[in-house]
Structure 1
Amino acid sequence: MTDVLHIVLDDTAMVAAGRGNVLLSRLVHRAHAEPGWFLYAPACALVEADRARPGTAEHLAALPSLRILDLDLPAALAVARDPAGWAIAHTSYVAQPTPERPDGARVATAAADEWKGRTVRILDVGP
């Protein structure tokens, strides 16, 4: 049986990836080389990451192992109800269980403190 791992990058993890974070580089490599490893970038978090570090969106969009997740209507409604801001709200929504991800996904973040009190599993990739 193949282990399945779903990881959603928040905006801080995306910026860290662009700055050469070793753990994120390994995750990208594993998602490319290993079956059952999946990386996701919510569109709202991608926009925020690109604002923080211009060029991040193009860099991440070029990675074949990274799936960009659109802001569809259910996600937009969840984001609209969340006062935390678009990036964290979309990332949190994407991390919830779905038919494709029955156990949900872990959120890779370089700012774990921002996720306190949220019902998501965190993968701290910060320094």
Structure 2
Amino acid sequence: MPRFDSWTMAWLFGCIVFAIHIAEEVAYGSFGVYADFNVFINTLFPSFPMPPYKYEIWLTNLIGAAVLLFAFTWLVYVKRGPMRLASYLFATFLTLNGIGHLYAALSMTTYFPGAVTASLLLLAGLVLFVAIPTDDKSTAATH
């Protein structure tokens, strides 16, 4: 059985947390929050062409992103392609998404969808930042 290094484990942890976060957002109705944000942006910038927000497209994109990130786990494991850059981008996304949800949860008087898993997102992002190798020797395929 193959043993995963810390980078691969951190990436996989980020994927799992992201999938759980998506499930929480879907279960607790965060689509309405994003649809309201779309209306808000259209009100502020009427000339900015924003397409109408559709639930099916939103959900399909989230699930597709999660599946794609899980598929990239293999590339992290074998150290192929620009996965170090992808890891920095994914870790940044996880960290900022977690901070955003925590901020929204603390500043609102009602429950904000995604608040329960926000701390896990923040943790997963920080763990991934720490696990990303910094030199080319550690990213060479040793399997």
TM-score between the two structures when normalised by the length of structure 1: 0.30
> What is the TM-score when the length of structure 2 is the normalising length?
0.28
More helix by share: 2
Higher strand share: 1
Which of the two has higher C-alpha Rg?
Answer: 2
